[in-house]
Chain A
Amino acid sequence: MVQLNRQYGREETNRETRKIRVIGVGGAGSNILDRALLDGIDHVELTTANTDVQSLTGSVANQKIQLGRNLTRGLGSGGDPELGLAAAEESYEEIQSVVAGCDIVFVCAGLGGGTGSGAAPFIAKLAKEAGALALVLVTMPFTFEGRRRCAQAAASLQLIRENSDAVVCFENDRMAELTLPRMGIHEAFSAADVTISQSIRAIANLLLQPGLIRLGFDDICSVLRDGDARALFGFGEADGENRAHDALVKSLRNPLMHRGEMLANATNVIVQIRGSANVTLGEVGIVMEELNRHVSDRTQLMMGIAIDGTMGSRLSVSIISSSGDSSDRPLKTEVYPALQEPARLEPVPAQPASESVITLRLEDERPANGATLDPVQHLEPAETRAPIEARAPARASIEARAPKKEAVKEADPSDKPAPKTIEARQEVLQFDAVSRGRFEKSEPTIIDGQDLDVPTFLRRRVKGGLV
């Protein structure tokens, strides 16, 4: 399963030319598209599909499909899913031509209404039939929208599950957690849009952006096609000293992650770390160690690292997985499910995941020279270069043999760290910027050089993770 990339000088071929299309269905769907576009999404084609012409004209997508031109005559579906479905069936050919040749089709819709609930399952089905990986991202209505809408949404969700590869379900009720109850209703609704657009962006980035350790289409397929079609998604971005930790915490706080609870049952988890060239081995170590505490022994973690010059000093962590019970499954050491694309993307960070040890192996042309660096030295911030062999401190040990990486700063896709073993097993706590809280103004208590007013878990964490 471990694929070693022994090819040299194949940088450019590495860039995937995957065709990704995002289809927003119904009013809510086109809102999501608008949001995604606002946030900036490249190399992705956007399509709006709606029965309501007014809403369609307002959309910013470059391609628009009017569903049920004869059936609804440019009006909405009036909250009737059957009408929505009929309208989509009428525009069958148009949809088919749009999804043809795509590798991934994201279908975004707000369930509960007519067009979204009715047409989304149908469009997903067509996309899947066309050979694409159909990912459906839907929002469930607020409970207060009434039982009828909720029931329609639930029924539609069931249909979507049957007809797509994966569903990412955003419950608006949970979205309320993202916003304060006092905030405007507009913000509450757009919270879901933001999260969905983040998900799309993260998956698109995963596929399209150069990675130091790349994750490919097949990885996503294996993760999403393997579950019970309920996707988990988390995205976090942070800046500052503890950015690695902060970003991970934020990603786990995503309402879709249910605070990481769902991760415990996931079979495959993709984690992608993005940052500019100053991402350190230590930071990768922190993210992986902490993430390991959230997953079970059976979980296969797939790590990707992407170097993106535009990230500046920020670092982002995306987690993608699907829920499914792994309890009755053996340790996942066999090949990916048959559904996967022919393996042609390398390096494939598919690894026999045993227990909570992630093994990532990649090789580069230059042999390691075997020097040993003191972890303290090489884990200095902004020091990515040449971790020849490093043992991370305390309970985590990261062994890495890497080529000299002058090229890292140019974000060269071919630039890879070399065989790595990350043994992560550490009880670590979430923490934020060092703070003394209510003792900010009182006389500090310093014993043995430690400021005891700073929470112990913060200090110990800093000690265990970074030094």
Chain B
Amino acid sequence: MARDNIFVGLEIGTTKVCVVVAEARHDNTLKILGVGNAPSRGIRKGELVDFETAKRCVHDAIVDAEERSDVEISEVYLGISGGHIRSFNNRGIVLLEEGREEIDEQDLEDVRTNAREVSLPMEDCVLHTIIQHYYVDGQDGVLNPLGLFGKKLEADFHIVYGIRTRIQNAIRCVKELELETADVVINSFATAQAVLDKNHKQQGALVIDIGGGTADFVVYVEGAVKQSGVIAVGGDHITNDLSIGLKIPSARAEKLKIEEGDVTLGNAFPGETIVLRDETGFAGREIERETFNQIIHCRVREIFEIVARQVDADQNLNYLGAGVFVTGGSSQLRGIEHLASEVFGLPSRITAPLPLAGVTSAFEHPQFSTAIGLVRYAHLVHMDRPMARGILSRTMKRLSGIFRT
């Protein structure tokens, strides 16, 4: 009994599967009805590696969400991540035929199709084609060319693509649970919807979502998505580094990371140690805090540096007026915002999802950014729908509606 105003976001993360059920209210605000959670297994670096196990986890999370929200879920917006996801910017050009000067919806669709016509590897498929800017007869800064007169319509798009089969795996996982996938959204976009407001997007912002298996980032410049990417390195790697560096089991390293994780260097006084306690609570080994911090520091710094290099390669670093937004589960590491500031040379902050109505306070936490972003995305799409006249324009509208703002 899917209601038209119920949106469900499903994030199949490396550490947890998270399902957010939200309701759109009449005043166009969202209210969270319930959030379902399940620890995930069978996921590595944001991708399914054990289908059956992962499916069970998704099932658990869905059931949890249904119980909490008292809604029977039938359709989800699915978040996608993984190192295979790539993106680039491309410009599409459409010349209006003789005798016609008013740009119509068909032209907008054509320009989009034109931009997508690049040779991608056989196994890849396009996930998103996001409008950045329109140009009409070379005129810059056209927000909506529909109805304008012109002979030549150009448009810049941000195109995100990934390996088809891997995306299908996630979709199939949902399908086997008797659920429909309303849309597939890459995690970084979803996250941006949750943590950025219109102003941030306009001023220029970089959102880095460091999750368990991946670090997803997206760059907004002048209100448009300029760049996005996925680096298949996340909290799991930090745990692994600690496990190797300190020679402790992974589970212990994970716990230690969550309890003591800190990226600050030089803060520990010499000889300061962290005492590892065994299950019975007796003090066991001691670990030097500086070493501990340094292992985490190296890894997080490297993630930031890779992102910084990629963002800088496209010369976007100078346009990030609103600065850097760090979110995701791993943003809980102490001092991470200072490290981000240092690496990017920009004001940085840790952000949780922007407030929503409902039982939110518990979920205004960085680790729910993506899942909540998914329902925000769904909501934004939905808001555009009633105005739509046809399926094509609906697609157009919704994408322009989301990514222009």
- Residues of A in contact with B (beta carbons under 8 Å apart): 177, 259-261, 264, 427, 429-432, 435-439, 442-443, 445, 447-448, 452-453, 455-458, 460
Contacts and interface: CB of A to CB of B under 8 A. Distances in A.
B370 to A, nearest CB: 20
Contacts of A442: 44-45, 49
B45 A457 contact: no
A431 B44 contact: no
Which of B233, B244, B286 neighbours the largest number of chain A CB atoms within 10 Å of its CB?
B244
B232 interface: yes
**Main DSSP-derived SS at the B contact region:** helix
A427 B44 CA distance: 32
Interface string B210-240: 0000000000000000000001110011011
A457 B271 contact: no
Contact of B241 (A259, A260, A443, A457): A457
Interface string B32-53: 0000000000001100010000
A460 B297 CA distance: 12
A427 B270 CA distance: 13
Contact of B233 (A260, A430, A445, A457): A445
Interface string B286-327: 101001001100110110001001000000000000000000
Given A264-B271, A456-B299, A435 B83 contact: no
A437 to B, nearest CB: 4
B232 A457 contact: no
29 contacts: A264-B270, A427-B265, A427-B294, A429-B291, A429-B294, A429-B295, A429-B298, A436-B240, A437-B240, A437-B250, A438-B239, A438-B243, A439-B44, A439-B236, A439-B237, A442-B44, A442-B45, A443-B45, A445-B45, A445-B231, A452-B237, A455-B241, A456-B241, A456-B295, A456-B301, A457-B245, A457-B294, A458-B244, A460-B302
Nearest to B240: A437
A260 B287 CA distance: 12
Contacts of B301: 456
Given A259-B286, A264-B270, A452-B302, A432 B83 contact: no
A459 to B, nearest CB: 8
A429 B245 contact: yes
A178 to B, nearest CB: 12
Nearest to A177: B285
A439 B239 CA distance: 11
Contacts of A457: 241, 245, 294-295, 298-299
The majority secondary structure among interface residues of chain A is loop
B240 A447 contact: no
Nearest to B82: A443
B163 to A, nearest CB: 11
A445 B83 contact: yes
A157 B83 CA distance: 61
A443 B83 contact: yes
A445 B44 CA distance: 12
Contacts of B236: 438-439
Interface of B: 44-45, 49, 83, 231-233, 236-237, 239-241, 243-245, 250, 265, 270-271, 273, 285-286, 288, 291, 294-295, 298-299, 301-302, 306, 309
Given A445-B232, A447-B306, A457-B295, A431 B245 contact: yes
**Residue from A260, A432, A455 whose CB has the most chain B CB atoms within 10 Å:** A455
Contacts of B231: 445, 447, 452
Nearest to B84: A443
A445 B273 CA distance: 32
Given A261-B271, A429-B291, 11 more contacts: A427-B294, A436-B240, A437-B243, A442-B45, A445-B45, A445-B233, A448-B309, A452-B302, A455-B240, A455-B298, A455-B299
Contacts of A456: 241, 295, 298-299, 301-302
B240 A439 contact: yes
A458 B298 CA distance: 9
Nearest to A264: B270
B232 A455 contact: no
Q: Considering residues A431, A447, A456, which has the most beta carbons from chain B within 10 angstroms of its beta carbon?
A: A456
Contacts of A259: 273, 286, 288
Given A261-B271, A447-B306, A452 B233 contact: yes
Closest CB pairs A-B (n = 6): A455-B241, A456-B298, A445-B232, A437-B240, A261-B271, A457-B298
A248 B73 CA distance: 59
A447 B49 CA distance: 21
Contacts of A460: 298, 302
Contacts of A448: 306, 309
Nearest to B294: A429
Contacts of B295: 429, 455-457
B250 A455 contact: no
B44 A430 contact: no
B264 to A, nearest CB: 13
Nearest to A437: B240
Contacts of A447: 231, 306
A456 B240 CA distance: 10
A435 B246 CA distance: 13
A453 B306 CA distance: 14
Contacts of B302: 452, 456, 460
B59 to A, nearest CB: 24
Contacts of B309: 448
Contact of A452 (B232, B250, B265): B232
A447 B309 CA distance: 11
B244 A437 contact: yes
B294 A438 contact: no
B208 to A, nearest CB: 15
A241 to B, nearest CB: 16
A443 B83 CA distance: 10
Contact of B237 (A429, A431, A453): A453
Nearest to B214: A445
B278 to A, nearest CB: 10
Contacts of B45: 442-443, 445
Contacts of B273: 259
A286 B269 CA distance: 24
A259 B239 CA distance: 22
Nearest to B44: A442
A260 B273 CA distance: 12
A127 B286 CA distance: 38
A452 B273 CA distance: 28
A435 B44 contact: no
Contact of A455 (B83, B245, B306): B245
Nearest to B232: A445
B299 A430 contact: no
A111 to B, nearest CB: 25
A457 B240 CA distance: 12
Contacts of B233: 445, 452
B245 A430 contact: yes
A183 to B, nearest CB: 16
Contacts of B49: 442
